[in-house]
Amino acid sequence: MSKPEPRPPICDYEGSNYRTEFWEGKGRDYEDQVERIALRRLLPARGRRLLELGAGFGRLTSEYGNYDQVVLVDYSLSQLRYAQEKLGTSGRYIYVAADAYRLPFRPGTFDGATIIRVIHHMSDVPGVLKQVRRALVPGATLILEYANKRNIKAMLRFARGQQSWNPYTLEPVEFVELNFDFHPDYMQQQLVNAGFQMQRSIPVSFFRIGAIKNRLPSTLLAGMDGLLQLTGLHYTPSIFTRSIAENASVDNLNTGNLFVCPECGAELLQQGDTLTCSGCGQHWAIRDGIYDFKAPLDEYA
- pLDDT-derived band at 6 (thresholds 50, 70, 90) equals confident
- pLDDT-derived band at 247 (thresholds 50, 70, 90) equals confident
Residue 288 and residue 251 in one domain: no
CA angle (121 as vertex; 119, 122 as ends), nearest 5: 65
* pLDDT, tens digit (0-9, with 9 covering 90-100), for 82-138: 999 999 998 899 999 999 999 999 999 999 999 999 999 999 999 999 999 999 999
Q: What is the mean pLDDT of residues 60-71?
A: 97
Q: What is the CATH number of the domain that holds 149?
A: 3.40.50.150
Residue 94 and residue 242 in one domain: yes
Residue 220 and residue 273 in one domain: no
Residue 69 and residue 50 in one domain: yes
Residue 128 and residue 151 in one domain: yes
Task: State the number of CA atoms in the 13 A half-sphere of 292 facing the CB.
Answer: 21
Examine residue 224 and state whether it is found in any structural domain, yes or no.
yes
Number of structural domains (the chain) is 2
- pLDDT-derived band at 268 (thresholds 50, 70, 90) equals very high
Of the candidate ranges 100-109, 201-210, 220-229, 242-251, the one whose mean pLDDT is the lowest: 242-251
Examine residue 9 and state whether it is found in any structural domain, yes or no.
no
Residue 96 and residue 190 in one domain: yes
Q: pTM for this structure?
A: 0.95
Residue 280 and residue 241 in one domain: no
Residue 133 and residue 158 in one domain: yes
In this predicted structure, the answer to whether residue 301 has a pLDDT above a threshold of 80 is no
Rg of the Cα atoms in the chain: 20
> Residue 223: what pLDDT?
98
Q: How far apart are CA 224 and CA 220, in angstroms?
A: 6
Residue 28 and residue 42 in one domain: yes
Examine residue 155 and state whether it is found in any structural domain, yes or no.
yes
Range of the domain at 287: 259-301
Q: What is the mean pLDDT of residues 240-264?
A: 91
Residue 263 and residue 228 in one domain: no
Examine residue 10 and state whether it is found in any structural domain, yes or no.
no
Residue 111 and residue 253 in one domain: yes
Residue 181 and residue 281 in one domain: no
* pLDDT, tens digit (0-9, with 9 covering 90-100), for 26-49: 889 999 999 999 999 999 999 999
In this predicted structure, the answer to whether residue 233 has a pLDDT above a threshold of 90 is yes
> Residue 20: what pLDDT?
84
* pLDDT, tens digit (0-9, with 9 covering 90-100), for 147-182: 999 999 999 999 999 999 999 999 999 999 999 999
Percentage of the chain exceeding pLDDT 90: 84
CA angle (6 as vertex; 16, 192 as ends), nearest 5: 85
- Which residues in the chain belong to E strands, given as ranges? 47-53, 67-74, 93-97, 110-115, 136-147, 173-176, 179-181, 196-204, 238-245, 268-271, 274-277, 283-287, 290-292
